[in-house]
Chains A and B, each alone.
Chain A
């Protein structure tokens, strides 16, 4: 029997090339594709607030077990304070959201951060009444407001001034004019703003995209100028409100502004409200 090896080789070779090519592509994929999957950090999971002492009281956990639990918690709450940042103010809402005002030491500029926003890779993870928690590289950092120097400077003014709204806002042929005195009253009495209006951030995939009006006290300046509940304030004077910082930038300049142009989404329709400040 005479086997023609040449023709056999000639016929089989392309199949070997194909097989080799397929394995080669798989090998490239093997190198390119990730060898490990990103693991979900269970700390991000939304759970009820951790109240170990109450749980112990309810279930009467034995002393030994309490000791062990305590050890764990101490490890988790091993905060180190950010030395270069001063926490000036906290605006905490009920649902653990809100915003804070911080200042870098030796710098005059203040920065406003809302929950989940980052400052120099420190992510603001939790806002409490007297302190906030930042996260960096899976480590938690507690920053407290209990600094005597700042507490006097940024003490909330509890004394309420009666802010007149009727005479300070004039509506003539759809043109709204606000007296600067009214604006100045709100600047002096910052706390009054939050009594008259309640807003919350509108979050999208790309971060904050405007602020929603949750509540407006009737007959106040905010109601008079035409803002309504469920309005979404998109921009003020063409400055898009992408963070609390943007909103406070406008607030800081408000005593110099001569007019206000507010872009609002109401019932899925984009509206513009224009005011003159005199």
Chain B
């Protein structure tokens, strides 16, 4: 028992120190460079880091030469038990307005060690909200939509891609990577 406790204390201390001293800005630079190689360009952002928290503000995402998304704030919080990415005030380019609603208020991505195989995400918009579960083991995405009437009428093309669930009386989406 003592040995197990000692082992866990080692793991906790290691993780804690590892997170605190993690070169967060360099890690984010790596993400930007990987995106750049895939022709997704992240620009105009400011990066601020704390001991366990990183903030990225005013980011523009450009794909194929078009500024498709503007994100006001991304907050990444890495705690031992709970890890959280909060993306707020997302504005999608108006040219994509016929496919997706241009404003997303908030995206929250959560990972907890109590449920280590599931990555959870919540998307909140004025017209709809989505609860997404990503099963890491089976690489499957399950999304449950809560849509408004306006959303259902305006985004019929998007609705066609979703599956109607009689139990929840709304739409779901499943995708396996």
B side interface size, CB within 8 A: 26
B62 nearest CB neighbor, chain A only: A40
Q: How far is the CB of B8 from chain A (nearest CB, A)?
A: 12
A37-66 interface with B by 8 A CB criterion: 37-40, 44-46
Residue A23 interfacial (CB < 8 Å): yes
CB B168 to nearest CB in A, in angstroms, measures: 34
| Interface membership of B82, Cβ < 8 A | no
Cross-chain contact A40 with B36 (CB below 8 angstroms): yes
Judge whether B43 and A39 touch: CB under 8 Å: yes
| Bound Cα distance from A181 to B49, whole angstroms | 73
Does A71 interact with chain B (Cβ within 8 Å)?
no
Count A-side interface residues using an 8 Å CB cutoff. 23
Q: Is A1 an interface residue (CB 8 A)?
A: no
Q: Which residues of the partner chain B approach A45 to less than 8 Å between Cβ atoms?
A: 62, 65-67
Rounded to whole angstroms, the CA-CA distance of A34 and B29 in the bound complex is 6
Given contacts A40-B62, A46-B66, contact A35 B22 (CB under 8 A): no
Contacts of B62 in A (CB 8 A): 40, 45
Can you show 21 pairs from A to B with CB atoms below 8 A apart? A15-B9, A18-B10, A19-B13, A22-B17, A22-B21, A23-B17, A26-B18, A26-B21, A26-B23, A30-B26, A33-B30, A34-B33, A35-B29, A37-B28, A37-B29, A38-B32, A40-B41, A40-B43, A40-B62, A45-B67, A46-B64
B67 / chain A contacts, CB cutoff of 8 Å: 45
Q: Does A226 contact B (CB under 8 A)?
A: no
Q: Provide the residues of chain B in CB contact with A14, threshold 8 Å.
A: 10
Question: A69 near B: Cβ within 8 Å?
Answer: no
Task: Report chain A residues within 8 Å CB of B5.
Answer: none
Question: How long is the Cα–Cα vector from A15 to B11 in the complex, in angstroms?
Answer: 10
B18 contacts A25, C-beta separation under 8 Å: yes
> Quick check: is A251 within 8 A (CB to CB) of the other chain?
no
How far in angstroms is the closest Cβ of chain A from B161?
Answer: 19
**Top 8 nearest A-B pairs by Cβ distance?**
A33-B26, A40-B41, A46-B65, A37-B32, A22-B17, A26-B21, A30-B23, A38-B36
Q: Is B14 an interface residue (CB 8 A)?
A: yes
**Chain A residue with the shortest CB-CB distance to B28:** A37
| Shortest beta-carbon distance from B53 to chain A in Å | 16
Q: Does B1 contact A (CB under 8 A)?
A: no
A21–B14 Cα distance when bound, in Å, is 8
What is the distance, in angstroms, from A59's C-beta to the closest C-beta of chain B? 24
Find the A residue at minimum CB distance from B45: A37
B23 touches A22 (CB 8 A): no
Cross-chain contact A33 with B29 (CB below 8 angstroms): yes
Residue contact B26 to A34, C-beta cutoff 8 Å? yes
- The distance in angstroms between the C-alpha atoms of A25 and B23, with both chains bound, is 10
Cβ of A174 under 8 Å from chain B:
no
1/0 contact string of B19-39 vs chain A (CB within 8 Å): 001110011111011001000
A85 to B70, CA, bound (A): 42
Given A26-B22, A29-B23, residue A36 in contact with residue B14 (CB < 8 A): no
Q: How far is the CB of B99 from chain A (nearest CB, A)?
A: 18
Q: How far does the alpha carbon of A45 sit from the alpha carbon of B60 in the complex, in Å?
A: 12
Contact A22 B18, beta carbon cutoff 8 Å: yes
A22 to B42, CA, bound (A): 30
- Cα A152 to Cα B42 in complex, Å, equals 48
